[in-house]
Amino acid sequence: MMFPRQHHQNKTASITTRLAVHLCPPASSIMKIFSVLFLLVIPPSSAFTPSFAHTKKKSKHSTSAIFNAADFKVAYDLNPRNTFLLDIREPDEWAEAHLSIATPNPLTVLSSGKWMDTTTGKYYPGTFPIDRFTGVSIVKNAKIYVHCKMGDRAKEGVEMLEQMGYSEVVALTETFDELVAAQLCDIISGEVQSLTDG
């Protein structure tokens, strides 16, 4: 014999079960929905995409990224010892006028010589950039902003430096005249006397 309260509970449970069956889709439908959502959320170039060892490794800073004098100024103010403004114009251009905080490394010098990749043992064209204030190679973890007169050589220089292992190197968008107008520092003239001229 059932008491009225028990009968009511059993009837409620039966209705709840029937509603759950009709309102909730089967587990396979839920999995399909999650699969579609997963594919929409994860971009095609994810950890699940095969990688090929023979493809050229891209640095995290693309040469097509837009960096300007203001970006350099902020980085230089935060860490002047590890932020460099590399002037890759030729010596005669440097002698005419240059930014006082710039380091001269003409593209012709940067692209001369050879360096060896220690992981592969292969030699590549190029010479590591020299810090004019210390006379030694610029460390690889330095932030390097490259400029020239119009921008094309700066992009070439960035590509070379990236191949050498510099990961934080970018070309500035401004021409030399625009950098002068931005008043980042004093503009001086004269030839480079030595690697450590001041």
Q: What's residue 67's pLDDT?
A: 75
Q: pTM for the whole thing?
A: 0.64
88's CB contacts (< 8 A; 6+ apart) are 105, 106, 107, 110, 146, 147, 148, 153, 154, 157
Q: Rounded CA gap, 184 and 186, in Å?
A: 7
CA distance 11 to 24: 20
pLDDT in tens, the chain (198 residues): 555 555 555 554 554 445 444 444 555 555 455 444 443 444 443 333 332 232 334 444 444 455 788 999 999 999 999 999 999 999 999 999 999 999 999 999 999 989 888 889 999 888 999 998 888 999 999 999 999 999 899 999 999 999 999 999 999 989 999 999 999 899 999 887 654 434
How far is C-alpha 132 from the chain's CA centre?
A: 25
